[in-house]
Amino acid sequence: MLEIAICDDEPVMRKEISRHFSDYMAKRQDMDYRIRGFESGKQLLAWGHDFDLIFLDIQMEQPDGMETARRLRQRGSQSLLVFVTVLKECVFDAFEVEACDYLLKPLDTGHFERTMERVYERIRQKPAKRLLVQRGNQSQVVLLSESVYCEVQGRKIYIHQKNGEIIDCRGYFPEEDGERPKIMVRIVDVRRMLMSLRLRSLMGVCFCVTDPVVEENNRCVTLTGTEFSGVMLMDGKAENSEGTISVAALASLVFGAKTTEDVCMEDGVVMTERLKSELKKVIPLSGIYLNEAV
Give the CATH number of domain 2-124.
3.40.50.2300
Please enumerate in sequence order all residues whose Cβ is within 8 A of that of 211, keeping only pairs 6 or more positions apart, or say none.
187, 190, 217, 218, 246, 247
Question: DSSP secondary-structure letter at 18?
Answer: H
Q: Where are the alpha helices (DSSP H) in the chain?
A: 11-28, 41-47, 65-74, 93-96, 109-124, 174-177, 190-195, 247-254, 260-263, 273-279
Report the chain's terminal Cα–Cα distance, integer Å: 38
**pLDDT for 152:** 72
Axis-axis angle for helices 109-124, 11-28 (nearest 10): 60
In the chain, CATH 3.40.50.2300 covers 2-124
Q: What's the whole-model pTM score?
A: 0.47
Predicted local distance difference test score (pLDDT) of residue 289: 42
For residue 265, the 8-state DSSP code is T
Query: In this predicted structure, what is the pLDDT of residue 180?
Result: 47
CB atoms within 10 A of CB 253: 21
Cα–Cα distance between 68 and 41 in angstroms, integer?
5
Q: What is the pLDDT of residue 57?
A: 93
Residues recorded for the chain: 294
CATH, range 184-293 = 3.30.1050.10
Torsion of CA 279, 284, 289, 291, to 10 degrees: -50
Cα-based torsion angle of the residue sequence 271, 277, 281, 287 in order, rounded to the nearest 10 degrees: 60
Domain with CATH 3.30.1050.10 in the chain: 184-293
Sort 276 into a burial class: Cβ within 10 Å, 0-12 / 13-18 / 19+.
Answer: middle
Q: pLDDT value at position 130? A: 59
As to burial, measured by CB atoms within 10 angstroms (0-12 exposed, 13-18 middle, 19+ buried), residue 145 is: exposed
Query: CA dist 32 to 22, 26, 28, 162, Å?
Result: 11, 10, 10, 24
Strand partners for 34: 3
Digitized pLDDT (tens) for each residue of the chain, 294 residues in all? 788 999 999 999 999 999 999 999 998 877 778 899 999 999 999 987 788 899 999 888 999 988 999 999 888 888 899 999 887 766 556 667 778 888 888 899 998 999 999 888 887 766 555 566 666 666 666 766 567 667 777 667 888 777 788 888 776 555 544 554 444 567 778 887 888 788 989 999 999 999 887 788 899 999 998 888 778 888 889 999 999 999 889 988 888 878 899 999 888 899 999 999 999 999 887 544 444 444
pLDDT at 222: 92
**8 Å CB contact between 280 and 260:** yes
Q: Give phi and psi for 137, each to the nearest 5.
A: -95, 5
Classify residue 203 by its DSSP letter.
Answer: E
**What Cα–Cα distance (Å) separates residue 82 from each residue in 15, 126, 130, 202, 228?**
16, 17, 28, 18, 13
Query: Do the Cβ atoms of 254 and 209 come closer than 8 Å?
Result: no
